[in-house]
Amino acid sequence: MSSDSSRRRWLKYSAAVGGLLTGCTPNTNQPPGQEEDVVNLLGRVVSKYGERSPDQKITRLPGTNKHLEASSSLTPLAQTMGIITPSALHFERHHAGIPTLQEAGYELLLHGLVAEPLTFTLNDLRSFPSASQINFVECSGNSGREWSAKVSADVQTGFGLASCSEWTGVKLSSLLQEAGLKPAGKWVIAEGADACRMHRSIPIDKALKDILVAYGQNGEALRPEQGYPLRLIVPGWEGNVCVKWLRQLKVTAEPLASREETSKYTDMMPNGKARQYTFDMEAKSVITAPSGGQRILKRGYVEITGLAWTGKGRIDAVEITTDSGKSWQRAKLQEPRLANAFTRFRFDWMWDGLATQIASRAVDETGYVQPSRDSLLAVRGANSHYHFNGIKVWQVGAEGSVTHVEA
Amino acid sequence: MSSDSSRRRWLKYSAAVGGLLTGCTPNTNQPPGQEEDVVNLLGRVVSKYGERSPDQKITRLPGTNKHLEASSSLTPLAQTMGIITPSALHFERHHAGIPTLQEAGYELLLHGLVAEPLTFTLNDLRSFPSASQINFVECSGNSGREWSAKVSADVQTGFGLASCSEWTGVKLSSLLQEAGLKPAGKWVIAEGADACRMHRSIPIDKALKDILVAYGQNGEALRPEQGYPLRLIVPGWEGNVCVKWLRQLKVTAEPLASREETSKYTDMMPNGKARQYTFDMEAKSVITAPSGGQRILKRGYVEITGLAWTGKGRIDAVEITTDSGKSWQRAKLQEPRLANAFTRFRFDWMWDGLATQIASRAVDETGYVQPSRDSLLAVRGANSHYHFNGIKVWQVGAEGSVTHVEA
């Protein structure tokens, strides 16, 4: 900030304002540019559905898959603010592209071990009691690169398969009650209407607890890439079970053991056995600023901020190190801290201008502490692709550069 | 919902799926239409910045002003869900249109009764400690029509000048501290960069308490119509003081008594004197469904839902009448209930199919109870245009129609 030219600017500015409030003439042909030159011209009119400023360029980043239909796009978490992810920037993960669906004629089928198979239109679903909750969705493949020696260089690439929205819909338990769940029903197979019919098995306890059949996201209908018109929101569980374009729910006695539950979305342990049905996303955090690829402009005050989340409920604490792990101090947490939602943390740091390493670690309400990458690999080995939740370390250079730390 | 044709549909559906997961071929020329016909075709690919489904048509509604630059647009609150308003549907109120501004070169001037006048670029502001909070913004002219005998017929027309977002920015108190507030400074005059230089006076106590100089809304930069690149968020106070396109802050000993604080945004009482600087928005609520212009399709279970808010902190309770005011029962409130934010309420109603009147009334954490329209008019008279917060009554017809009740 500067104070030297303030008085001069103010005088110029006062002169420009001139006939305050009398100079407004209806002229909508306002040329683009700074408003100092067009101070007396009216701006643009109201609109039906707003768009962001053309000045704003942050975007999702496409993943590296060969086919963009079976790919992902990553949320720019180093640029987003607060805890709500704009729907337009919510990460994507599709296995067969985004189907083109309309609400008219769309039906959800609920069958299997129920007293009466039912189909529901969107209007049917809206006639049930509704619920809204702010939840993160995280692909269990998020940060998958961190398992390897070639760790991610920035937040978007390494952590961008996670986002957080206010979701609205009907409790899955309400629909199961309506259909009449049979005692033998222990699993619910959810299937999407995409070309590959993405499907996953969900234990009945979770289905009866807190799962939403969601038709709303951040106040309006789901976006197409988020499953329009209908998806599951399974609080705290890996994103893959939050089946999009939800077309049918089948109650069964056993899980399906589908491709997405066997060859994919399982965790190969060092002994050659795989962890399966590992649904919970464990406590995790990342410093989003300053972070890889950014630059600290000057020594002195620097706000360290980032996001923490856990599928086990609430985040209880986030601890920050600014001295390469020698000491840890508590960050401030943005209130309210919500269960299975992003929690924004902030930490006031006085940077002395010397090279150092900074990192965050999350503690959830069960007392679980986010592990270091080394501890995680010691237990899980290096064969996993999913469920990485190790601490991410950023290297701060003496010149203010911020980079990743080679594994 | 229906169960009769479920089995037949399921058989057809199973046949269509056929070679599950093997039939996916890279073909992006998917024709529009229901996916039953295109089950084996890949859908659309990932994108950088998402858009809503073309199927979705709800929009803001332009106000009735002669010039659209000095007009408003109303949020479709009967269609939005949860508590977050999509930024694209956040209400608008402009006095001279939306100026075209870029972040580059934009500066905020802070001067007047401070030790050192300062200017801040956006990057300067981002280098201060940041804060995010979910707050409603309500134009004090919202529901202005309710003062007259010709009350509004639906939620959007009558209540659409209110919205709720997660805002991010820097505390105004941080900037005042940086510039060195002088003891004589008792007011802050905030001025916008629009053609009319919208400006309002804010008491220093509020400026030091919880005002945000906001650059973020719902996770990304402010939308142009919400003040890009900078606006004030003054929690719980009338929207007009949340000055958009914020260009300067001047600390003064006295308020400005500008046009927007004298001939406008004051409340003419029955005795001919006007209430002035009436900043707080008092407790208010409205049933958004079922509401004016909607139709209840069948007797039996109907979810009554709506929004409540207060500028005095949290909503403590919302009470619902479904028998024309004879009795009132508590609605369920969506958690968390946040200070100076929308609170979503829901109420399970068994409609007997008879004509009746339904209404909601909010109680805030101070114990204040939202008044009936008659009580409000008894105290304030009928000369006001602003700050209407009376109870809104909807008439339910025996055929399921929902209409307003003539005053």
Asked if B42's CB is within 8 angstroms of A96's CB, the reply is yes
At A38 the pLDDT is: 45
- In angstroms, the Cα distances linking A53 to A82, B13, B92, B104 are 19, 44, 15, 13
Calculate ∠ Cα B15-B16-B18, nearest 5°: 70
At A39 the pLDDT is: 55
At A237 the pLDDT is: 98
CB contact residues (below 8 A), chain A span 39-68, against chain B: 39-53, 55-56, 58-63, 67-68
In the three-class reduction of DSSP (H, G, I as helix; E, B as strand; rest coil), residue B226 is classed as: helix
Sheet holding A187-192, edge to edge: A118-121, A107-112, A246-252, A187-192, A199-203
Rounded distance, CA A168 to CA B80, Å?
Answer: 10
Residues of B in contact with A88 (CB under 8 A): 49-51, 220
Q: Is residue B195 within 8 Å of B98, Cβ to Cβ?
A: no
Q: Nearest CB to A1: which of B59, B124, B334?
A: B124
Q: How many residue contacts between A and B have a Cβ separation below 8 Å? A: 384
**Smallest CA–CA separation between B308 and chain A, in Å?**
15
Q: Nearest CB to B60: which of A48, A80, A305?
A: A48
- B33 CB neighbour count, 10 Å cutoff: 12
Whether the pLDDT of residue B36 is over 80: the answer is no
Token reading at B347: 């109420």
Whether the pLDDT of residue A21 is over 50: the answer is no
Chain A touched by B374 (CB under 8 Å):
no
In the three-class reduction of DSSP (H, G, I as helix; E, B as strand; rest coil), residue A280 is classed as: strand
Q: Which of B220, B298, B347 to mutate to test the interface with A (most CBs of A within 10 A)?
A: B220
At B9 the pLDDT is: 40
What is the set of domains in chain A, with CATH numbers?
6-38 (no CATH), 61-275 (3.90.420.10), 284-404 (2.60.40.650)
**Smallest CA–CA separation between B326 and chain A, in Å?**
25
Contacting residues for B323 by C-beta, under 8 A, at least 6 apart:
B356, B357
- Phi then psi for residue A13, to 5 deg, are -65, -45
- In angstroms, the Cα distances linking B198 to A73, A91, B164, B193, B245 are 41, 38, 22, 8, 9
- Where do we find the tokens 């020696």? A149
Kindly identify which residue of chain B lies nearest to residue A3, measuring between CA atoms: B118
Asked if A42's CB is within 8 angstroms of B60's CB, the reply is no
Kindly identify which residue of chain A lies nearest to residue B106, measuring between CA atoms: A34
* Residue B351 host element (H or E): strand B343-351
User: Confidence class of residue A264 from pLDDT cuts 50, 70 and 90?
Assistant: confident
Chain B touched by A2 (CB under 8 Å):
yes
pTM: 0.92
In the three-class reduction of DSSP (H, G, I as helix; E, B as strand; rest coil), residue B241 is classed as: helix
Kindly identify which residue of chain B lies nearest to residue A10, measuring between CA atoms: B109
Lowest mean pLDDT among A247-261, B173-187, B260-274: B260-274
- In angstroms, the Cα distances linking A381 to A68, A278, A284, A378, B290 are 30, 16, 18, 6, 56
Rounded distance, CA B181 to CA B205, Å?
Answer: 12
Rounded distance, CA B160 to CA B184, Å?
Answer: 39
| pLDDT > 90 in chain A, percent | 81
Q: Nearest CB to A220: which of B13, B73, B86?
A: B86
User: Confidence class of residue A67 from pLDDT cuts 50, 70 and 90?
Assistant: confident
Q: Is residue B83 within 8 Å of B334, Cβ to Cβ?
A: yes
Rounded distance, CA B22 to CA A237, Å?
Answer: 27
Rounded distance, CA A278 to CA B124, Å?
Answer: 45
Asked if B51's CB is within 8 angstroms of A223's CB, the reply is yes
**Long-range Cβ contact pairs of B172-175 (< 8 A, separation 24 or more):** B172/B207, B172/B208, B172/B211, B172/B212, B172/B213, B172/B232, B172/B249, B173/B207, B173/B208, B173/B209, B173/B211, B174/B128, B174/B129, B175/B110, B175/B118, B175/B120, B175/B125, B175/B128, B175/B213, B175/B249
At B1 the pLDDT is: 57
CB contact residues (below 8 A), chain A span 178-197, against chain B: 178, 193-197
CB contact residues (below 8 A), chain A span 104-143, against chain B: 104-107, 109, 111, 116-121, 124, 127-132
DSSP B170-221: EEHHHHHHHHTB-TT--EEEEEESSTT--EEEEEHHHHHHT-EEEEEETTEE
- A375 CB neighbour count, 10 Å cutoff: 13
CA-based nearest residue to B309, from B283, B330, B327, B337: B283
Rounded distance, CA A130 to CA B78, Å?
Answer: 14
Chain B touched by A228 (CB under 8 Å):
yes
- Measured between its terminal Cα atoms, the distance across chain B in Å is 39
Kindly identify which residue of chain A lies nearest to residue B296, measuring between CA atoms: A127
Q: Nearest CB to B24: which of A79, A96, A118?
A: A96
Q: Nearest CB to A43: which of B100, B116, B218?
A: B100
**Smallest CA–CA separation between B250 and chain A, in Å?**
11
CA-based nearest residue to B253, from B205, B204, B211: B204
**Smallest CA–CA separation between A317 and chain B, in Å?**
18
Chain B touched by A1 (CB under 8 Å):
yes
User: Confidence class of residue B35 from pLDDT cuts 50, 70 and 90?
Assistant: very low
Across the range B32-50, mean pLDDT stands at 72
Residues B122-156: tens digit of each pLDDT? 999 999 999 999 999 999 999 999 999 899 999 99
Q: Which of B22, B42, B343 to mutate to test the interface with A (most CBs of A within 10 A)?
A: B42
At A58 the pLDDT is: 97
Asked if A344's CB is within 8 angstroms of B132's CB, the reply is yes
Residues B168-186: tens digit of each pLDDT? 999 999 999 999 999 999 9
Query: For residue B401, with 0-12 CB atoms within 10 Å meaning exposed, 13-18 middle and 19 or more buried, which class applies?
Result: middle
At A258 the pLDDT is: 85
Contacting residues for B187 by C-beta, under 8 A, at least 6 apart:
B201, B202, B203, B204, B251, B252, B253, B254, B255, B256
Residues of A in contact with B131 (CB under 8 A): 334
At A3 the pLDDT is: 57
Give chain B's length: 407
**Smallest CA–CA separation between A139 and chain B, in Å?**
15
- In angstroms, the Cα distances linking B357 to B79, B296, B354, B360 are 21, 13, 10, 11
| Predicted ipTM > 0.85 | yes
**Smallest CA–CA separation between A39 and chain B, in Å?**
5
Q: Nearest CB to A34: which of B39, B105, B197?
A: B105
Rounded distance, CA B58 to CA B73, Å?
Answer: 13
At A357 the pLDDT is: 98
- In angstroms, the Cα distances linking A356 to A150, A303, A323, A394 are 21, 16, 6, 9
- Where do we find the tokens 């606006």? B231
Rounded distance, CA B77 to CA B60, Å?
Answer: 9
H-only helix segments in A82-209: 122-126, 155-159, 172-179, 204-209
Q: Tell me chain A's radius of gyration from C-alpha atoms.
A: 25
Rounded distance, CA A347 to CA A302, Å?
Answer: 8
Q: Nearest CB to A116: which of B3, B69, B167?
A: B3
CB contact residues (below 8 A), chain B span 306-365, against chain A: 334, 336, 338, 344, 346, 348
Chain A touched by B1 (CB under 8 Å):
yes
On average, the pLDDT of chain B sits at 91
Lowest mean pLDDT among A36-50, A284-298, B336-350: A36-50
Chain A touched by B32 (CB under 8 Å):
yes
- A125 CB neighbour count, 10 Å cutoff: 20
Query: For residue A22, with 0-12 CB atoms within 10 Å meaning exposed, 13-18 middle and 19 or more buried, which class applies?
Result: exposed
Across the range A275-282, mean pLDDT stands at 92
Rounded distance, CA B244 to CA A133, Å?
Answer: 30
CA-based nearest residue to B19, from A259, A105, A66: A259
Rounded distance, CA A107 to CA A246, Å?
Answer: 9
At B69 the pLDDT is: 85
Q: Is residue B33 within 8 Å of B55, Cβ to Cβ?
A: no
Asked if B68's CB is within 8 angstroms of A216's CB, the reply is no
Chain A touched by B35 (CB under 8 Å):
yes
Whether the pLDDT of residue B23 is over 70: the answer is no
Q: Which of A1, A212, A295, A314 to mutate to test the interface with B (most CBs of B within 10 A)?
A: A1
- The letter for the amino acid at B9 is R
Token reading at B75: 């949020």
Asked if A10's CB is within 8 angstroms of B111's CB, the reply is yes
Whether the pLDDT of residue A162 is over 80: the answer is yes
**Smallest CA–CA separation between A253 and chain B, in Å?**
19
- Where do we find the tokens 């005795």? B271
In the three-class reduction of DSSP (H, G, I as helix; E, B as strand; rest coil), residue A350 is classed as: strand
User: Confidence class of residue B3 from pLDDT cuts 50, 70 and 90?
Assistant: low
Contacting residues for B117 by C-beta, under 8 A, at least 6 apart:
A3, A6, A7, A10, B109, B110, B111, B179
Give chain A's length: 407
Lowest mean pLDDT among A307-316, B7-16, B392-401: B7-16
Whether the pLDDT of residue A332 is over 90: the answer is yes
- In angstroms, the Cα distances linking A210 to A146, B46, B313, B336 are 31, 29, 29, 16
Rounded distance, CA B400 to CA B294, Å?
Answer: 9
Beta strands, E only, B87-194: 92-93, 107-112, 118-121, 131-138, 162-171, 187-192
Q: Using the 8-state DSSP alphabet, how is residue B45 labeled?
A: -
At A65 the pLDDT is: 82
Rounded distance, CA B332 to CA A153, Å?
Answer: 46
Query: For residue B281, with 0-12 CB atoms within 10 Å meaning exposed, 13-18 middle and 19 or more buried, which class applies?
Result: buried
Asked if A73's CB is within 8 angstroms of B47's CB, the reply is yes
Rounded distance, CA A204 to CA A193, Å?
Answer: 22
Chain A touched by B235 (CB under 8 Å):
no
Q: Is B300 left (phi over 0), alpha (psi -120 to 50) or beta?
A: left
At A45 the pLDDT is: 94
Across the range A87-92, mean pLDDT stands at 98
Q: Nearest CB to A55: which of B103, B109, B166?
A: B103
Rounded distance, CA B240 to CA B261, Å?
Answer: 10
Residues of B in contact with A130 (CB under 8 A): 81, 303, 305, 346
Q: Is residue B288 within 8 Å of B358, Cβ to Cβ?
A: no
Asked if B120's CB is within 8 angstroms of A34's CB, the reply is no
